Amino acid sequence: MQSPNFVGPSPTQLTISSETQILPSAALVASDLAAIRRPKALSCLKNALGKARAAAEATGRVSIADDSGIEAAALGGAPGVRSARYAGAQASDEENLAKLLREAPAGSALEYVCALVYVDPRAGVERVFEARCKGRLAAEPRGAGGFGYDPAFLPDDGDDGPPTLTMAELTDAQKDAISHRGRAARALLEWLTAN
C-alpha cells in the first residue's frame, strides 16, 4: 500500500511525531498540503473531515487527517476548535494557555478532543475516530513536556484519586496511554489491522 497522506492540525513536527509513535505500521508521511483549499469548520470533526477529503481529492491517495482542541466546561466548550488561536491568530502556546488560566477557574472541568479521519478515495471509504481525555485545570502551569495546554491539564485518568500530575509532567508513554490523540490513533490502528 502506498503511504497515506497525513494532514495534522498544522504541519508541525510535534503533531506528526505524536501520531507516528502510535501508528508506526501505518507508514504516515508528512505531506505539504498547505496549498490545498479546505473549508474552515466549527468543530474538530468537521475540520478533520474537510482536511482528509481535500487531501484525498487533490492527491487521489488515502488521506488521514486530525484536528484537536481543548474544551473548558466553564467557558461553554471554548476554546474548542479555536484552541490554537485562542489568544489571537499568531498567539503562542504560552499566550493561549495564559488566556485559558485567566478565564476559567482552577479545578474546573476540561476535555481534550481529537477527531481522526481516514478517507480512501478509490474505495469510497470514510472512517471517523473520535476520542476524549477528561481532566481539570491546574492553578498554574507545571512541567516541561508536551505542548499547548498540557502544563495546566490535570488528567482524570491514570491515578486512583485526584490527578496530581499535569500532562506536561507525564512521560511520553504515560501521556500516549491516556491522551485524546493516543486513543483515537489506537482506534484507527485497530481498524486498519482488522481491515
Is the pTM of the predicted complex or chain greater than 0.85? no
* CA–CA separation, 120 and 123 (whole Å): 6
What does the pLDDT look like over 109-119, one tens digit per residue?
999 999 999 99
Q: What is the pLDDT, as a whole number, of residue 177?
A: 87
Of 67, 120, 159, 172, the catalytic one is 67
Which residue bears the cell 478532543? Answer: 113
96 has pLDDT over 90? yes
pLDDT digits (tens, 9 = 90+) for 138-181: 999 999 988 899 999 999 976 555 578 999 999 888 888 899 98
Residues of the domain holding 72: 5-194
DSSP per-residue codes, 6-59: EE-SSS-HHHHHHHHHH-GGGT-EE---TTS-----SSHHHHHHHHHHHHHHHH
What residues contact residue 35 under an 8 Å CB cut-off, 6+ apart?
none
Does the annotation mark 160 as catalytic? no
What is the number of structural domains in the chain?
Answer: 1
Here the CATH number for the domain that contains residue 102 is: 3.90.950.10
